[in-house]
């Protein structure tokens, strides 16, 4: 019997980026198998434009679901499929499980200096917006397994706290506005991760400035996760599918 028919599907999506970093598509993964290739007529996800014809026409790679997990598998392509996890970029050689924050990379162009530029499919394992959320328990501040983000509103400093370790995260001005708003929303409900909708966050970052889009917000969150990747902490920014984001911040200190 197919296990995927028995296990509830965990929401997942891929955000497709062009080599220049612009977002091409945001695709919710569905069914048990999705193909990625050059031509839109024969693939679920098309990687275009591809003027150098480096992407296989049909099924350059496949995304396969097994139970509650997703896997990537190269389709025997000429130029290969790669997986970026943290700072490492490795060629996909078999059926490889995907983790939240992984980036599937497909060669899009080669420069005159032989530098490879990639299409990137950022994998996001999103939470079910209708799932029952547990009541937050008291959070221990012991060094064991405690991990959260701390933000100093006065000094505008973002710090990753992991046990006794602290790592300052350098972010750009718009990311500061995003984080500040999410931290304040958490504080307003006692420190638990608050759901911040897309519209709320766009208002917090750009206020009434015209011509800003949801694509820019997605890219801003993606950049912030990239800053956390070297510490394997990108999961501290949660994606609530089609709704918005949550930020896992450190609990308020008690006087």
**What pLDDT does 9 receive?**
46
Q: pLDDT tens digits for 88-118? A: 889 999 999 999 888 999 999 988 888 889 9
The β-bridge partners of 101 are none
d(CA 152, CA 157): 5
Q: What is the pTM of this model?
A: 0.54
Which stretch of DSSP H or E encloses residue 216?
A: helix 214-228
Among 212, 231, 217, 213, CA closest to 170: 231
Chain-centroid distance, C-alpha 157: 22
Which stretch of DSSP H or E encloses residue 105?
A: strand 103-110
**What pLDDT does 108 receive?**
94
d(CA 54, CA 255): 60
Chain-centroid distance, C-alpha 221: 8
CB atoms inside a 10 Å sphere around CB 182: 26
Q: Cis omega (within 30 of 0) on the bond before 248?
A: no
**What pLDDT does 201 receive?**
94
pLDDT tens for the chain, 255 residues: list them: 444 444 444 579 999 999 888 889 999 999 999 999 999 999 999 999 999 999 999 999 999 999 889 999 999 999 999 998 877 889 999 999 999 888 999 999 988 888 889 999 999 886 544 455 555 444 333 333 479 999 999 999 999 999 889 999 999 999 999 999 999 999 988 888 898 998 899 999 999 888 888 878 888 998 998 999 889 898 899 887 678 889 999 987 654
Collapsing DSSP states into helix, strand and coil, what is residue 213? coil
**What pLDDT does 160 receive?**
95
For residue 115, what are its two tokens? 């530098």
d(CA 127, CA 225): 17
Chain-centroid distance, C-alpha 224: 9
């Amino acid at each position: 019997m197919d296990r995927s028919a028995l296990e509830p599907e965990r929401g997942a999506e891929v955000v497709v980026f062009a080599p220049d970093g612009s977002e091409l598509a945001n695709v919710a993964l569905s069914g048990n198998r999705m193909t990625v290739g050059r031509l839109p007529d024969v693939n679920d996800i098309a990687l275009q434009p591809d003027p150098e014809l480096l992407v296989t026409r049909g099924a350059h790679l496949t995304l396969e679901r097994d139970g509650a997990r997703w896997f990537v598998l190269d389709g025997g392509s000429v130029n290969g499929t790669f997986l970026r996890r943290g700072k490492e970029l490795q060629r996909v050689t078999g059926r490889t499980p995907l983790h939240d924050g992984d980036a599937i990379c497909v060669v899009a162009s080669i420069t005159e200096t032989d530098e490879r530029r990639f299409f990137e499919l950022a994998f996001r394992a999103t939470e079910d917006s209708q799932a029952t959320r547990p009541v937050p328990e008291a959070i221990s501040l012991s060094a064991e397994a405690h991990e959260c983000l701390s933000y100093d509103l006065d000094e505008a400093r973002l710090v990753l706290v992991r046990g006794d370790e602290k790592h300052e995260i350098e972010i750009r001005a718009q990311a500061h506005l995003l984080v500040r708003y999410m931290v304040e929303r958490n504080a307003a409900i006692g420190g638990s991760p608050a759901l911040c909708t897309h519209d709320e966050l766009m208002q917090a970052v750009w206020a009434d400035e015209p011509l800003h889009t949801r694509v820019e917000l997605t890219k801003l969150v993606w950049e912030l996760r990239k800053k956390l990747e070297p510490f394997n902490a990108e999961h501290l920014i949660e994606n609530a599918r089609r709704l918005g984001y949550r930020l896992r911040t450190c609990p308020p200190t008690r006087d």
